[in-house]
Structure 1
Amino acid sequence: MITSGIFMHPAAWFILGALLLPLAAKLKLQKALLIAIPVIAFTQIYALPQGHDFLVGHWLGAELIFGHVDKLSFVFLHVFTLMAIIGCIYGLHVEETEQHIAAFLYVAGSLGVTCAGDYLTIFIFWELMAFASTFLVWFRKKKKSTDAGFRYLLVHVAGGLILLAGIFLRYQNIHDLHFTRILAEGATIADYFILVGFALNAAVPPIHAWLPDAYPEATVAGAVFMCAFTTKTAVYVLARAFPGFEILMWAGAIMTLYGAGFATIENDGRRILAYHIISQVGYMVCAVGIGTEMAINGACAHAYAHILYKALLFMGVGSVLHMTGKSRLSELGGLYKWMPMTLLFTVIGGISISGFPLTSGFVSKSMIVEAAGEHHHLAIMLMLLAAAVGTFLSVGLKLPYFIWYGGRQSSFEAKDPGWNMQLGMGIAAFMCIFIGCYPDFLYNMLPFPVEYKPYFGYHISESLQMFAFTGLGFYLLIKKLTPKRTDVAAEHFTGHLETSTGHSHHPTGPLINLDFDWFYRKGALVVMWIFKNPLSGLNEIVSNIYRTVGTRMTMAIAKGSSWFDWNGIDGFIDGSARGVVAIGDKTRMHVTGNLQHYIGGSVFGVFVILAIVIFT
């Protein structure tokens, strides 16, 4: 049973809020509840006891630790609850109560994982995250969203099963479910199963394609939540359990280049941002793999900064989609006249993710690069710096240019979104600048003491030179970077396969870029063909054989069983019964009913027995 007050746990507030939302909607209190719940949870985290477990229960002999908070988990709790406030403000205009319920449960799952002290509790909230976030995709209520939501759910259920298998194998090995650090030197197959389960949620290639497939198809408000929680929760559990695993260092470095490369050639604004989640989370995964105190601090700091500027970018591009109904860069342009505030906020997000001085990205990303340098990994440093160039090129320059300026002027007029959406973007933009100007606000929350100073001459000079030369490259290559509306060659690779945008591709359709989801999309078609054709035919053959041979054999066996029953079993039982009746009839003939005869017969029998005994 639980040993502490349940409402000490921040996730409990969001679960309670999800339960109360239908009633609040009827009472016209939905908007008030949407603000009250995350604000209460945000203030509650400061009262959590750090350093020892709380909310401990027992189930089937296992100890469930729902609450364990230290400096590592606190920094994630802080940004998660802050992001919940921003996301709820941004989504106040959404009248659909079910969408808010899904968002609340999604946040609750993330907070539950962050506070968990054992693997079973992690798994419970891990699956809550997966199922709740799926509805944020489905609530867009388009065929593309429905299909993407099913793929998203299937991938995450598969990842959850891998995680659960690792948990069971680990318990079988050490009989302990506590969530503690795993050393690379003694890692077993069970530990690597857990690592794969965590890595899937971190979108580590090649198990990443669910992210750019699903996030762009989510609702406008839902995508803001999704970009903040799933991957960063995965970064937290990786930092808690797998620091120093060198495979993560290389995987993270590859992620930074992979995501930035795909973002550079994308057309859809939200797919650009989705690929850049992969790129930026790559910095964090790489830092976890390095495993030093500075690297873990850098991972936490960059996760905090990334949640804010990535949410800001998704809010900006989502506002454009909300007001114009379009998100492809090839269909936009000239919006600077109609949506100036959204332009300002999105540019702040773009320069923050690029690591421009006086923004949050500048004070967080550089910690990871510095940690790689201290670890004497020159190749890793070069990969991270190259990814920074791709980030500024695609998100700092390409994205805002082709939405708000570009070569074409939009044929429609738009305007900035409602006050709540602008307020949500304003808070996130303020935090991006505030952290960049006052990094100690963030540094003081990090798990280890911070001696790093981001503002020094070489670092500032290096960053400005990178931005200048990248800007020059964008100017010279702008025609090459202009988004294309069609791609005739893509059909050669995909055939009539449903594309990552949810439509069957034709030469006149939108540009698509093939990713690793091509394999499970094609694989799914192969599996469906196998079930539909050879297996279906085999099933028909087996059915025909059964109807012709099996049925006759079954009837013959039934007739033989019936004969044996009548002539064997029944004959034996009936014959025995008839024999007993016959003996009874013969015995009855000797029954006189005279008691003296019975006594005399008995005495005679006794004498006979005694004579036999004496004379033998």
Structure 2
Amino acid sequence: MWIAELPSFIYFYLGALLLPLLRGWGRNLVLLAIPLVSGFFLWQLPEGEHWQVTLLGFELTPFYTDRLSVLFGYVFHIAAFIAIVYALHVRDLLQQVASLMYAGSALGAVFSGDLISLFVFWEMLAVTSVFLVFARRTERAYRSGMRYLMIQVMSGLLLLVGVILYVQASGSLRFDFIGLEHVGTAGLASWLIFIAIGIKCAFPFLHTWLTDAYPESTPTGTIFLSAFTTKVAVYALARGYPGTELLIYIGAVMTCFPIFYAVIENDLRRVLAYSLINQVGFMVVGIGIGTALAVNGAVAHAFNDVIFKGLLFMSMGAVLHMTGKINGSELGGLYKSMPKTTILCIVGAASISAFPLFSGFVSKSMVMTAALNNGYNVIWLMLLFASAGVFHHAGIKIPYFAFFAHDSGIRTSEPPTNMLIAMTIAAVLCVAIGVYPEMVYSLLPHDVDYTPYDTTHVLAQLQLLFFSALAFVWLNQRGLYPPELPSVNLDVEWFYRRLLPRLFEFIMGLFWSLNEVLRQTIKRFLSALGNHIHTHSGPQGILAKTWPTGRVVFWVAMILAAFLILSLY
């Protein structure tokens, strides 16, 4: 059947166009059916090129499947379904349409077999996702969304220029391995594409759009945002730049620097945004190492991160939805009135912390083992430090300050049933993948014989978690752990949110000051010139009898006109 070979994004785009015509349960049924139907047809498809289009003499392949793209396709369908279930109580058409278009754009990007199709969906990701930030309908959300959109569009422009140069140099549009080894025009093109992907991947110094916009989105919109943009970028790196050693060091920095900000951050959704960068760092390291085990670990961790990070964002979204608060300094004691949400959050925390029998353990250990096997001992130590750090800020801080810590006195109820169902689905997957990793391992792009549950791995990870927990308890008891303070922390974004506006104000103030000084100087000069002319050419002046009266009147009039213009200005 031809309908079975439609690109996955078509189902989502058509569904988004259909939604405004529906109401109530009819709309909800269509929302739920779209990822199920699209996922079923994807499961039936063989690998290969399914659609080809000729445009301006170029062969485009907007629907190409192999083991790498299909794995991301599966997890994107799962994420879309869970997020839709989570948002069923929402009656905001803007969010519903934007969510479907956004998920469809992510699927279009990972199934793009050529660079032009990739660019189109790359830009669609930016345009559709920003409405999930705007949908919060606050001044902060609008400002954050505009900053987010500008940075995302910049990524698209860099990608477009890189694609044009790459096609000119190589003569090929196919989206396959690119690498950074080229020279000349192809070298410039490969670097531009690399930086464009790096922006969406939240490389260090290019990451602020994520920590700025995600916490300002709606409680349901953040679930979609956490699933797609960075994972599309991880897919693009795995497709175009596997084995690029620079990625190892970039990824290692990504795993470490967010820890320091997450520990002091008060907004718990912003803590999770920093944690998202930390987890993407593990994926980037794996892609940079480039071996079969490392790439498998990277994409497996991307698969798992979509689910357990989504679960953590869902639990915090539930807290925000029910209490209207998300700062750790304002929460605490919610386990009394939200016990189910508390348990589900702890499952997500255990998964991201890589506890044995949870999904994070069976993927993160692959990347760390690959680093050790390939002689990157310092990188392995950085990943070890990052693993302990993520347990502190996401594994302990999130559930502790939201549901335990001090009793804030807030008494509420569990979130709507659809929210609990979505969180339960994600929690079950976290445990199921951890207990039976073959569920994901069988989908990985490379065939590798790897057993996560050997004595060394299990004991090393348990020791790491135990001593990390002990450090948290000790620091907290001694009052040394950074307290939850009602404050806003800026990192690199300080340059364009604080420094640049102040620098602009200083330059403009200096300009107007100089302008005033210049005007006063010219006025004084003209006044002195007028006095001088009057002295020599006035009625009593020595030149009065030798200059025609008309000429004197003319020059006096010119001086007065200039003086008047400057005064009015």
Q: TM-score, normalised by structure 1?
A: 0.81
Residue 171 of structure 1 is matched in structure 2 by 167
Per the TM alignment, residue 174 of structure 1 is displaced from its structure 2 partner at its CA by: 1.4
Residue 274 of structure 2 is matched in structure 1 by 275
Residue 480 of structure 2 is matched in structure 1 by 480
Per the TM alignment, residue 409 of structure 1 is displaced from its structure 2 partner at its CA by: 1.2
Matches within 5 A, 1:118-133: 118-133=114-129
Q: How far apart in 1 are the matches of 2:25 and 2:302?
A: 36
Q: Alpha carbons of 1:58 and 1:5: their partners in 2 closer, same or farther (altered >3 Å)?
A: farther
**3-state secondary structure, aligned to 1:29:** helix
Residue 38 of structure 1 is matched in structure 2 by 35
Residue 504 of structure 1 is matched in structure 2 by none
Q: Which runs of 5+ in 2 are unaligned?
A: 519-569
Residue 198 of structure 1 is matched in structure 2 by 197
Residue 317 of structure 1 pairs with residue 313 of structure 2: no
C-alpha distance after superposition, 1:558-598 (max 9, x if no partner)? xxxxxxxxxxxxxxxxxxxxxxxxxxxxxxxxxxxxxxxxx
CA contact 1:239–1:296 (8 Å) conserved in 2: yes
Q: How far apart in 2 are the matches of 1:339 and 1:457?
A: 37
C-alpha distance after superposition, 1:67-92 (max 9, x if no partner)? 11000111100000011000000000
Matches within 5 A, 1:354-373: 354-373=353-372
Residue 76 of structure 2 is matched in structure 1 by 80
Per the TM alignment, residue 482 of structure 1 is displaced from its structure 2 partner at its CA by: 4.9
Matched AA of 2:443: M
Matched AA of 2:412: A
Per the TM alignment, residue 539 of structure 1 is displaced from its structure 2 partner at its CA by: 11
Residue 66 of structure 2 is matched in structure 1 by 70
Q: How far apart in 2 are the matches of 1:414 and 1:300?
A: 39
CA contact 2:99–2:129 (8 Å) conserved in 1: yes
Greater mean alpha carbon deviation, residues 258-267 or residues 470-479 = 258-267
Residue 155 of structure 1 pairs with residue 155 of structure 2: no
Residue 462 of structure 2 is matched in structure 1 by 464
C-alpha distance after superposition, 1:477-500 (max 9, x if no partner)? 113325332xxxxxxxxxxxxxxx
Matched AA of 1:450: V
Calculate the aligned-residue CA RMSD, in Å: 2.0
Residue 105 of structure 1 pairs with residue 101 of structure 2: yes
Per the TM alignment, residue 531 of structure 1 is displaced from its structure 2 partner at its CA by: 8.7
**3-state secondary structure, aligned to 2:276:** helix
**3-state secondary structure, aligned to 2:258:** helix
Q: How far apart in 1 are the matches of 2:247 and 2:225?
A: 23
Question: Paired residue for 2:87, among 91, 101, 106?
Answer: 91
Matched AA of 1:513: N
Matches within 5 A, 1:124-143: 124-143=120-139
Residue 514 of structure 1 pairs with residue 510 of structure 2: no
Per the TM alignment, residue 384 of structure 1 is displaced from its structure 2 partner at its CA by: 0.5
Residue 264 of structure 1 pairs with residue 240 of structure 2: no
**3-state secondary structure, aligned to 1:480:** coil
Matches within 5 A, 1:158-557: 158-186=154-182, 188-406=187-405, 408-478=406-476, 479-485=479-485, 510-522=486-498, 524-525=500-501, 529=505
Q: How far apart in 2 are the matches of 1:333 and 1:444?
A: 41
C-alpha distance after superposition, 1:348-399 (max 9, x if no partner)? 0001001000000000000000111111100110000100000111111111
Q: Which runs of 5+ in 1 are unaligned?
A: 486-509, 542-616
**3-state secondary structure, aligned to 2:446:** coil
CA contact 2:296–2:446 (8 Å) conserved in 1: yes
**3-state secondary structure, aligned to 2:356:** coil
Residue 14 of structure 1 is matched in structure 2 by 12
Q: How far apart in 2 are the matches of 1:448 and 1:469?
A: 35
Matched AA of 1:269: L
Q: Alpha carbons of 1:519 and 1:19: their partners in 2 closer, same or farther (altered >3 Å)?
A: same
CA contact 1:312–1:429 (8 Å) conserved in 2: yes
Per the TM alignment, residue 61 of structure 1 is displaced from its structure 2 partner at its CA by: 2.0
CA contact 1:90–1:421 (8 Å) conserved in 2: yes
Q: How far apart in 1 are the matches of 2:510 and 2:227?
A: 45
Which structure would you say has the larger Rg?
1
**3-state secondary structure, aligned to 2:174:** coil
Matched AA of 1:40: V
Q: How far apart in 2 are the matches of 1:267 and 1:236?
A: 31
Residue 590 of structure 1 is matched in structure 2 by none
CA contact 2:136–2:217 (8 Å) conserved in 1: yes
Per the TM alignment, residue 41 of structure 1 is displaced from its structure 2 partner at its CA by: 1.3
CA contact 2:106–2:229 (8 Å) conserved in 1: yes
Aligned residue-pair number: 513
C-alpha distance after superposition, 1:439-466 (max 9, x if no partner)? 0010000000121100011111111111
Per the TM alignment, residue 535 of structure 1 is displaced from its structure 2 partner at its CA by: 7.7
CA contact 2:263–2:482 (8 Å) conserved in 1: no
CA contact 1:184–1:244 (8 Å) conserved in 2: no
